Structure 1
Amino acid sequence: MTQPISIIAKSLVRERQRTGLSLAEIARRAGIAKSTLSQLEAGNGNPSLETLWALCVALNIPFARLLEPQNPKTQVIRCGEGTKVIAGRANYQAILLAACPPGARRDIYLLLTQPGADRISHPHPQGSVEHIIVTQGRALVGPTEAAEELGEGDYICYPADQEHIFKALESDTQAILIAELN
């Protein structure tokens, strides 16, 4: 399995430099310690999904940009492999399957989830949309106030610019997530 920290470190430096903002300012906007961001940019640490999302919001970039391989060609990701990020407060793992190409704002993930702590996501940028197809198990998915129960083969599309939830209702629930970020 690919360890994403070295890719994340290079991406954080690249994206922070692109913004022209200081390390301290990006850390402040993300609500993390400056030393934490410094360590991540140096390729040290094991950031949670929540920390990475907060940095993406602070940098105004889609999440997958932190995990993008440089100049991808043909790519095959075998089952059980790929760049995996694990949530710190939920039984939820996201494996990046396809990062959005330049000029587009779409990412594709395989979600591997377990019942337990719910994965509640903060609103993404205005106009963002998520599409989810449950491929195994059952889950409660969608806007926090209007989530729908989905089973194998069920699909949902919802605005992701409001708080939303993914709650596994069965062990080993899996889903495909397509995020369209504005």
Structure 2
Amino acid sequence: MTDPSSNIGSILKRVRFERSLSLEEASNLTGVSKAMLGQIERRESNPTISVLWKISTGLRISFSELLGSDSNNYEAISINQIEPVCESDGKMILYDVFPFNPISGFEYFFIKLLPGAKHTSTPHYNSTEEYVVVTKGTLVMTVEDQTFELLAPAALKFKANKEHTYCNPYDTEVVFQSIVKY
């Protein structure tokens, strides 16, 4: 994977020239100093996420465009070829399909719970929300003191900074996906 920061300067410069904007005009639109914008264009400075957001918002371009993300970049993944992580005495089988990426801000897991599985997850203090989508079986989720019985197809969204438990008290396999947003 190439470092997206290596293209930011040339993309910023291209957008500025396409719109006939001076550094001062771009600075007024974005709230980023002329000096900083010039340094970014010359690749003398590596901007923070906060600065990138100001630039993309001020110039009204998508964050991914500013990073030079190729919207035609496809990646097909066979989940069966991913090495799973097994928890809870091997009864929770977790596939990290899309590991955390600071550009996307999330990670995606495909998870199987065998009969009798119970896994308690400690709070994710660095995340904001978790989205669980049950596609097979019945998942019993407990978040803090609330319990939810999710019969597929079903979904649950919750604040991930709370202790939560995934449980399969039934005699059939449960399959669900989890997206953790940071």
Contact 2:79 2:95 in 1 (8 A): no
For 1:116, the equivalent position in structure 2 comes to: 116
CA shift, 1:95, in A, is 0.4
| Aligned Cα root-mean-square deviation (Å) | 2.0
Which runs of 5 or more residues in structure 2 are unaligned?
1-72
Within a 5 Å distance, the mapping from 1:1-182 to structure 2 comes to 74-89=74-89, 91-125=91-125, 127-170=127-170, 171-181=172-182
CA shift, 1:126, in A, is 5.2
For residues 90 and 158 of structure 1, what CA distance do their matches in structure 2 show?
Answer: 26
For residues 79 and 110 of structure 2, what CA distance do their matches in structure 1 show?
Answer: 10
Q: Counterpart amino acid of 2:141?
A: V
Q: Counterpart amino acid of 2:176?
A: A
How many equivalent residue pairs?
Answer: 109
Q: 1:113 to 1:95 in 2, by over 3 A?
A: same
For residues 127 and 101 of structure 1, what CA distance do their matches in structure 2 show?
Answer: 13
3-state SS, counterpart of residue 131 of structure 2: strand
Contact 1:129 1:159 in 2 (8 A): yes
Q: 1:145 to 1:80 in 2, by over 3 A?
A: same
Percent identity of the aligned residues? 17
**Greater radius of gyration (CA):** 2
For residues 79 and 95 of structure 2, what CA distance do their matches in structure 1 show?
Answer: 10
CA shift, 1:81, in A, is 2.4
For residues 91 and 146 of structure 2, what CA distance do their matches in structure 1 show?
Answer: 21
* TM-score, with length taken from structure 2: 0.54
Q: Counterpart amino acid of 1:146?
A: Q
Q: Counterpart amino acid of 1:75?
A: E
For residues 89 and 159 of structure 1, what CA distance do their matches in structure 2 show?
Answer: 27
For residues 121 and 83 of structure 1, what CA distance do their matches in structure 2 show?
Answer: 20
- Runs of 4+ in structure 1 deviating by more than 6 angstroms, as ranges, are none
CA shift, 1:145, in A, is 1.4
